[in-house]
Amino acid sequence: MRILSGIKPSGKLHIGNYFGMMRPALELAQKGEAYYFIADYHAMTTVTDPAKLRSNSLDIALDFLACGLDPSKTVFYRQSDVPQVTELTSILLNLTPVPMLENAHAYKDAIAQGHKPNGGLFTYPVLMSADILIVQGERVPVGKDQKQHLEIARDIAGAFNRQYGEVFVIPEADIQPDVATLPGIDGRKMSKSYNNTIEIFGDEKATRKKVMSVVTDSQPVEAPKTDFDKNIPLQLYKAVATPEKARELQAKLAAGGFGYGDAKKELLATLTDYFAPFRKKREELVKNLDYVQEILRKGAERANVVATETMERVRLAVGLR
Ligand code: ADP
Ligand code: TRP
């Protein structure tokens, strides 16, 4: 089974990215042949500073490796090192109905917020389809918010196969139902774009400040707090704690005499412990950047082999050869 996923280097990795996408992707990578990449072309819809794009991309590489990506088992590369994806995008655009792109959430949201979207944002789902189809990805571990993009990729792959014959495997999204969407410190979806994230590799003081500012209602310490679904510190705790620990915290909240501040302290401690080994690993990797670049170079080489094969079949199928 071939597995593929990408992550956009558009800012610092947060715990929503980790639990929603990275951890499931790393688990799934054990079960097949995984291709994971840094979606640097995609990041260009928002990152316009070249130095920033460069440093964000390196950060994501470090983050992924620190969080447990095994480069001896997983093909790990930068999207822009496989420029065939842009060629495939050009071809797939001809099989993409404009109304389908007009219906895409990211595009609609940009319009709703009064932005003037550029062509890169408009065709974002087609580039993403090309990422997947170029390596014939069968399973795509992503967070829930990427569901629509996967449906578009399936539609485009199906349209291509109907028009030109069976070339592409139809990809399937792999979405974890229990940690589908992690809330941010303001209660909305945790997202870089909302500035409400808890970073995995952020500095200790900033993390403490963020955890202690997670929104709650204003019930006093004594009150029993049983509205678990609306309790953001508890929701976040459930992501990092064992089920048993999560039940314990729930029981303390329900009993009363246990305030939101106490819950946040437990959250901070558990969160810190959870990510401590990853932080240590990352500190080692930072001292060895040549090793990291070498991993990406080798990954690009391997991804290029597959991409070249796919493109040969595609060119032949459509009549470019
Ligand atoms: P952001 O919204 O912070 O910009 P991205 O869009 O770069 O995050 O998402 C990277 C991956 O992480 C995607 O697969 C996405 O579904 C997942 N993800 C992002 N935010 C969350 C969240 N709050 N909960 C769960 N998964 C998330
Ligand atoms: N659009 C994805 C995100 O914002 C990143 C991405 C780009 C991706 N290409 C992909 C994810 C291909 C899965 C497969 O998170």
pLDDT by residue (tens digit) across 33-81? 999 999 999 999 999 999 999 999 999 999 999 999 999 999 999 999 9
In a domain, 242, yes or no: yes
Examine the pLDDT at 236 and tell me if it is beyond 70: yes
Examine the pLDDT at 2 and tell me if it is beyond 70: yes
Examine the pLDDT at 285 and tell me if it is beyond 70: yes
Q: If you take atom 10 of ligand 2, which residue's CA is the nearest one?
A: 6
For position 263, which CATH number holds?
1.10.240.10
Examine the pLDDT at 180 and tell me if it is beyond 70: no
Q: What is the pLDDT of residue 181?
A: 83
Examine the pLDDT at 190 and tell me if it is beyond 90: yes
The bound ligand whose nearest atom lies closest to the alpha carbon of 232 is: 1
Q: If you take atom 21 of ligand 1, which residue's CA is the nearest one?
A: 16
In a domain, 58, yes or no: yes
Instruction: Please give the residue range of the domain that contains residue 158.
Output: 2-178+289-318
Q: What type of residue is 321?
A: R
Examine the pLDDT at 259 and tell me if it is beyond 80: yes
- For residue 179, give the DSSP letter: T
Examine the pLDDT at 179 and tell me if it is beyond 70: no
Quick one: 166 and 214 in the same domain? no
Q: Going by C-beta distance under 8 Å and a sequence separation of 6 or more, which residues neighbour residue 240? A: 15, 267, 270, 271, 274
* Whole-number Å distance between alpha carbons of 69 and 76: 8
Mean pLDDT of 150-176: 97
Quick one: 117 and 82 in the same domain? yes
What is the residue-wise DSSP string for 241-270? Answer: S-HHHHHHHHHHHHHSS--HHHHHHHHHHH
In a domain, 194, yes or no: no
pLDDT-based confidence at residue 214 (cuts at 50, 70, 90): very high
From the alpha carbon of 4, which atom of ligand 2 is closest? 14
In a domain, 187, yes or no: no
Q: What is the pLDDT of residue 282?
A: 97
In a domain, 195, yes or no: no
Mean pLDDT of 293-302: 98
| Cβ(19)–Cβ(179) below 8 Å | yes
Q: What is the pLDDT of residue 126?
A: 98
* Whole-number Å distance between alpha carbons of 43 and 9: 6
Q: For ligand 2, which residues put their CB under 6 angstroms from it?
A: 4-8, 39, 42, 128, 131-132, 140, 142, 146, 149
In a domain, 183, yes or no: no
pTM given for the model = 0.92
pLDDT-based confidence at residue 145 (cuts at 50, 70, 90): confident
pLDDT-based confidence at residue 3 (cuts at 50, 70, 90): very high
For position 38, which CATH number holds?
3.40.50.620
| Cβ(296)–Cβ(37) below 8 Å | no
Total domains in the chain come to 2
